[in-house]
């Protein structure tokens, strides 16, 4: 019986230790969400401004540019996946990877070859485990992304996009990331960056502004050349920030439920331990009473 | 008098926003001055200083690098990867 008691005590201790860790992670994530959300908000004006400019060019000029025209035949598509560096964030990484797999099988069914660009250690290890090749990967700062990384990713994919398909270039660029909806909801989102599909925030020309004719300096081609990489970067940076905020939120939620589960385990095991202790005591009393009876009856 | 609604935006934050009566910026083609009523325009910025004449007196300068300038209906947006105000 004593053994049973020890087993329960051990289990309670282990649940308590786990709870300490999960509680600490929960608090850390909770404090970082605020900051991550602020960064998403702070990057808003930039991406809005860039998007407006891109939509201005796309709407008010009819120039043919490699970045805006649909290629006749798409041979290869690049998919950039934004996962996390560390686990213990619930379904965060796996939902992004699942969305990416769905996208990849869709692209393959359309006869396109898929090349991957990975962000976050979890995505890298997912690919390494399945012995799949990825073009390039970036790890180490998914929880606090910097603009330099966004620029590096943007440069890599745009350079690949500008290569002709016969030399291994890609004709499409997709990104897959977790969009931060709220503290309890993060939705995996698939967006096609290039060729430009939906230009958000296009303002339909109202009555008062009859199609403003934009003047471009030095000229439309050059403006597009320098504008679109900036647009891609800002979209990628935004995706990284959204993904970081989502990661913290997902981790906080996962760690909160882990702490709650640990609480429940501790409570249950404490009950069992008390039971075990009580039955041990009962048995000891029974033994003593039995022994005393035996002694007193043998004296007679 | 008409005024320009100006915002100077860097990649990670909004550097300055407010009303100005004139904006002088350096594009790849040379310096350009923008007054209210300017036609819609998109220009690539060269490395250099952007000077804003604020409505109600005073002026603000900002260093902008790697960006562009858009003008549309008296809304001027200066977008740069790196932008910072020059000591006010």
Summarised one tens digit per residue, pLDDT across range A11-39 is 999 999 999 999 999 999 999 999 999 99
Predicted pLDDT of residue A281: 94
Q: What is the mean pLDDT of residues B55-65?
A: 83
Q: How far is B43 from chain A (nearest CA, A)?
A: 5
Contact A46 B9 (CB under 8 A): yes
What percent of chain A is modeled with pLDDT above 90? 51
Confidence of residue B67 (pLDDT cuts 50, 70, 90): confident
Taken in order of first residue, the domains within chain A and their CATH numbers are 2-24+255-299 (1.10.287), 28-254 (3.40.1380.10)
Q: What share of chain A is helix, strand, coil (3-state, %, to 5)?
A: 60, 15, 25
Q: What is the DSSP letter of A165?
A: G
Lowest mean pLDDT among A44-58, A236-250, A258-272, A281-295: A44-58
pLDDT at A109: 92
Average pLDDT, chain A: 86
A215-247 pLDDT tens trace: 777 777 778 778 888 888 888 999 999 999 999
Tell me the average pLDDT across A257-278.
Answer: 95
What is the residue whose two structure tokens read 């109600």?
A: B56
Task: State the average pLDDT over residues A135-164.
Answer: 89
Q: How confident is the model at residue A282 (pLDDT cuts 50, 70, 90)?
A: very high
Q: State the average pLDDT over residues A97-109.
A: 93
Q: What is the pLDDT of residue A61?
A: 60
Query: Residue A68's closest CA among A213, A198, A215?
Result: A198
Give the pLDDT score at A56: 73
State yes or no: pLDDT of B88 exceeds 60. Answer: no
* Contact status of B75 with chain A (Cβ, < 8 Å): no
**What residues in A contact B41, CB-CB < 8 Å?**
214-217
Q: Does the structure show a pLDDT above 70 at A60? A: no
Rounded to whole angstroms, how far apart are CA atoms B66 and A121? 31
Which residue is closest to A43 within chain B, CA to CA?
A: B12
In this prediction, residue A177 carries a pLDDT of 94
Residue A292's pLDDT is 93
Tokens 């997902």 belong to: A250
Judged by CB atoms closer than 8 Å, whether chains meet at B44 and A223 is answered as: yes
The owner of tokens 């050059």 is A222
Please say whether the beta carbons of A79 and A116 come within 8 A. Answer: yes
What percent of the residues of chain B are helix, what percent strand, and what percent coil, each to the nearest 5?
Answer: 0, 70, 30
| Reported confidence tier of residue A46, pLDDT bands at 50, 70, 90 | confident
Top pLDDT among A116 and A164 is at: A116
Stronger pLDDT, B63 or A209, i.e. the higher one: B63
Q: pLDDT higher for B64 or A57?
A: B64
Question: DSSP string of chain A?
Answer: -HHHHHHHHHHHHHHHHHHHHHHHHHHHHHHHHHHHHHHHHHTHHHHHHHHHHHHHHHHH-----TTTSPPSS--EEEEEEE--SS--STTHHHHHHHHHHHHHHHHHHTT-EEEEEEESHHHHHHHHHTT---SEEE-S-SSS--HHHHHHHHHHHHHHHHS-GGGT--SEEEEEEEEE-SSS-EEEEEEEEETT---TTPPPP-SSS--PPPEEES-HHHHHHHHHHHHHHHHHHHHHHHHHHHHHHHHHHHHHHHHHHHHHHHHHHHHHHHHHHHHHHHHHHHHHHHHHHHHHHHH-
Q: What is the ipTM of this complex?
A: 0.81
B18-57 residues touching A, CB cutoff 8 A? 27-29, 32, 39-44
Q: Testing the interface with A: which of B34, B44, B75 to mutate, by most A Cβ within 10 A?
A: B44
pLDDT of residue A205: 44
Within 8 A of A58 by CB-CB distance, chain B residues are none
The shortest CB-CB distance from A214 to any of B28, B42, B77 is to B42
pLDDT band at A209 (very low <50, low <70, confident <90, very high): very low
Q: Per the CB < 8 Å rule, is B42 touching A57?
A: yes
pLDDT tens-digit map of A115-148: 999 999 999 999 999 999 888 999 988 888 988 8
pTM, rounded to two decimals? 0.83
pLDDT of residue A64: 65
Please give the share of chain B, as a percent, with pLDDT higher than 70: 97
Beta strand extents in chain A (DSSP E only): 76-82, 113-119, 136-138, 172-180, 186-194, 215-217
pLDDT band per the 50, 70, 90 thresholds, residue A68: low
CA-based torsion, A85, A147, A156, A56: positive or negative: positive
**Model confidence band, residue A210 (pLDDT cutoffs 50, 70, 90):** very low
Is some CB atom of chain A closer than 8 A to the CB atom of B12? Answer: yes
Q: Return the CATH fold of B4-85.
A: ATP Synthase; domain 1 (2.60.15)
Domain edges within chain B: 4-85
Strand order of the β-sheet with A136-138 is A136-138, A113-119, A76-82, A172-180, A186-194
Highest mean pLDDT among A191-205, A221-235, A277-291: A277-291
Residues paired with B18 in a beta bridge: B6
pLDDT of residue A204: 47
Using an 8 Å CB-CB cutoff, list residues of chain A that contact chain B.
39, 42-43, 45-46, 49-50, 52-53, 56-57, 60, 147, 151, 209, 212-218, 222-223, 226-227, 230, 233-234, 237
CB-CB under 8 Å, A216 with B27: no
């Amino acid at each position: 019986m004593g053994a049973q008691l020890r087993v329960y005590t051990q289990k309670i201790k282990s649940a308590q230790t786990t709870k300490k860790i999960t509680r600490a992670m929960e608090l850390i994530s909770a404090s970082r969400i605020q900051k991550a959300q602020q960064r998403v908000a702070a990057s808003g004006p930039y991406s809005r401004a860039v998007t407006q400019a891109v939509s201005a060019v796309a709407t008010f000029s009819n120039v043919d540019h490699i970045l805006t025209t649909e290629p006749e035949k798409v041979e290869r598509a690049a998919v950039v996946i934004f996962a996390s560096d560390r686990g213990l964030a619930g379904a965060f990484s796996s939902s992004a990877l699942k969305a990416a797999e769905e996208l990849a099988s869709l692209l393959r069914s359309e006869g396109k070859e898929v090349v991957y660009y990975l962000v976050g250690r979890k995505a890298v290890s997912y690919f390494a485990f399945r012995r799949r090749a990825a073009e390039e990967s970036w790890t180490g700062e998914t929880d606090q992304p910097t603009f330099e990384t966004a620029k590096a990713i943007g440069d890599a994919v745009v350079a690949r996009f500008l290569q002709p398909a016969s030399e291994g270039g890609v004709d499409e660029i997709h990104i897959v990331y977790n969009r931060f909806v709220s503290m309890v909801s993060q939705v995996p989102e698939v967006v096609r960056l290039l060729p430009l599909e939906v230009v958000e925030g296009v303002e339909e020309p109202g009555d008062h502004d009859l199609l403003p004719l934009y003047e471009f300096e030095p000229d439309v081609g050059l403006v597009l050349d320098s504008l679109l990489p900036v647009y891609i970067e800002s979209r990628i940076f935004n995706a990284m920030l959204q993904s970081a905020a989502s990661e913290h939120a997902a981790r906080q939620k996962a760690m909160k439920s882990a702490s709650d589960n640990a609480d429940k385990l501790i409570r249950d095991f404490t009950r069992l331990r008390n039971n075990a202790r009580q039955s041990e005591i009962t048995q000891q009393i029974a033994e003593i009473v039995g022994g005393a009876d035996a002694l007193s009856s043998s004296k007679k | 008098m008409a005024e320009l609604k100006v915002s100077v935006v860097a990649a990670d934050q909004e550097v300055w926003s407010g009303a100005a009566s004139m904006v002088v910026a350096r594009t790849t083609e040379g310096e350009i001055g923008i007054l209210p009523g300017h036609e819609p325009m998109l220009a690539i910025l060269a490395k250099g200083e952007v000077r804003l004449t604020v409505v109600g007196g005073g002026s603000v300068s900002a260093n902008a690098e790697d960006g562009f300038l858009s003008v549309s209906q008296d809304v001027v947006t200066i977008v740069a990867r790196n932008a910072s105000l020059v000591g006010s």
